[in-house]
Amino acid sequence: MFKDFIIALLACICFSIVFDVPKKYLFLSGFGGALAWISYLICLNITDSTILSCFIGAVSVGLFGEIAAIYKKAPVPLFIIPGIITLVPGANMYYSMFYIIKGDFQSASIQGSQTLLLAGAIASGLIVITSIFKVVKRGTQNHKIKKKIMDNKKVKCD
């Protein structure tokens, strides 16, 4: 498991370089990817369902990305885009093509639908986190505005 973590970390750090992530964020964005892969593996061990595991992986990378973005004051995609790569169903896409060429359409349709479902799982995992954080951010903004108004009132009263 630890070996997998290191390999995923290195893979994601290299992938961040392909997308020109600044040097100071390389480790963090790689860490997000490694986190996604590890939570995917753990969930796969427990539940034996690739789709649920992919969902959990996407949730963890989304959560990590949003928190890192707030902490570092950087845009969220910086941490999510390199992190999501470990979950993208490239293998299923390849196998569905492979079976189509072989003429085994039953296996091809199984793999093809798996590809779509996994992509959907990633999407919904990210959606959950994005919408939660949208509400949280709006909440804090409202709080700040209220505070500002209150402060202004205080000044006037004085």
Residue with tokens 């427990």: 46
CA distance 15 to 21: 9
Locate 134 and state its tokens: 């949208």
- Whole-angstrom CA distances from 147 to 136, 144, 153, 154 are 17, 5, 10, 10
Q: According to the binding rule CB under 8 A, does residue 19 interact with other proteins?
A: yes
Binding letters toward other proteins, positions 34-73, x by CB under 8 A: ---x-----------------------------------x
Q: Which stretch binds other proteins (CB under 8 A): 43-51, 82-90, 140-148, 149-157?
A: 82-90
- Cα–Cα nearest to 124, from 48, 57, 40: 57
Please report whether residue 74 would count as binding other proteins according to CB under 8 A.
yes
Q: Which of 15, 31, 55, 64 binds other proteins (CB under 8 A)?
A: 15
Residue 58 near residue 84, CB atoms below 8 Å: yes
CB of 66 to other proteins, least distance (A): 11
Q: Which member of 44, 52, 70, 88 binds other proteins (CB under 8 A)?
A: 88
CA gap 109, 156 in Å, rounded: 70
Q: Is residue 25 close enough to count as binding other proteins by CB under 8 A?
A: yes
> Least distance in Å: CB of 2 to other proteins?
14
